[in-house]
């Protein structure tokens, strides 16, 4: 059973080294578990879409919730899917600040993005747009 989920959280000290470490750890673990997705960060928040086997996704999210590198995580979106949208990325990487503002504002009330104003379906549409326009760095 394939599922797709999105969560957002408040970053704790998100310097480049901290984000690089999350990406390295996440990529090797996700590859082993058949998880794909993308991690966005910027404006003090993390925003992640994860897809794959339902229990694998739930297990990783349970671990992520315990991670002290962020706080106040909120589940924005969860759905069963028939096909993946991010099969090319074990954990793609997007810096929100580097995106063209219009690519984000299209799906948000205002910039910078704020956790309590995020809409799960809109975030999903934004991420699919980013995937389609090659704005997601590998892998």
Ligand X SMILES: Cc1cc2nc3c(=O)[nH]c(=O)nc-3n(C[C@H](O)[C@H](O)[C@H](O)COP(=O)(O)O)c2cc1C
- Lookup result for tokens 């992520």: 64
Site mask, ligand X, residues 73-112, x = CB under 6 A? ------------------x---------------------
Binding mask 27-56 for ligand X (x = CB under 6 A): --xx--------x------x-x-x------
Give the binding range for ligand X (CB under 6 A) out of 62-70, 77-85, 93-101, 113-121: 62-70
- The least CB distance from residue 46 to ligand X, in Å, is 4
Residue 133 CA to residue 14 CA, distance in Å, equals 26
38 contacts 95 by C-beta, under 8 angstroms? no
Rounded CA-CA distance 108/106 in Å is 6
* 91 vs 113 by CB, closer to ligand X: 91
Helical spans, DSSP H, in the chain: 16-33, 54-65, 101-105, 120-132
Q: Is the Cβ of residue 29 or residue 84 nearer to ligand X in the bound state?
A: 29
Give the count of residues interacting with ligand X (CB under 6 A): 17
CB of 19 to ligand X, least distance (A): 9
Cβ–Cβ < 8 Å for 59, 35? no
At residue 93, the 3 state secondary structure works out as strand
Task: Check residue 129 for interaction with ligand X (CB under 6 A).
Answer: no
| Residue 35 DSSP one-character state | -
Q: Which residue among 6, 26, 92, 93 contacts ligand X (CB under 6 A)?
A: 26
Taking the complex as a whole, how short is the minimal distance between the CB of residue 134 and ligand X, in angstroms? Answer: 21
As to burial, measured by CB atoms within 10 angstroms (0-12 exposed, 13-18 middle, 19+ buried), residue 102 is exposed
């Amino acid at each position: 059973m394939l599922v797709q989920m999105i969560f957002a959280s408040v970053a704790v000290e998100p310097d480049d080294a901290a984000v690089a470490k999350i990406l390295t750890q996440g990529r090797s673990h996700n590859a082993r578990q058949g998880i794909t997705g993308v991690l966005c960060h910027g404006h003090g928040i993390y925003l992640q879409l994860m897809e794959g086997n339902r229990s694998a996704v739930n297990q990783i999210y349970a671990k992520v919730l315990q991670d002290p590198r962020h706080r106040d995580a909120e589940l924005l979106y969860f759905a069963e899917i028939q096909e993946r949208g991010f099969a090319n990325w074990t954990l793609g990487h997007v810096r929100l600040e580097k995106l063209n503002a219009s690519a984000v504002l299209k799906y948000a009330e205002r910039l910078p993005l704020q956790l309590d104003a995020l809409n799960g379906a809109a975030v999903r549409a934004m991420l699919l747009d980013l995937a389609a326009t090659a704005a997601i760095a590998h892998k």
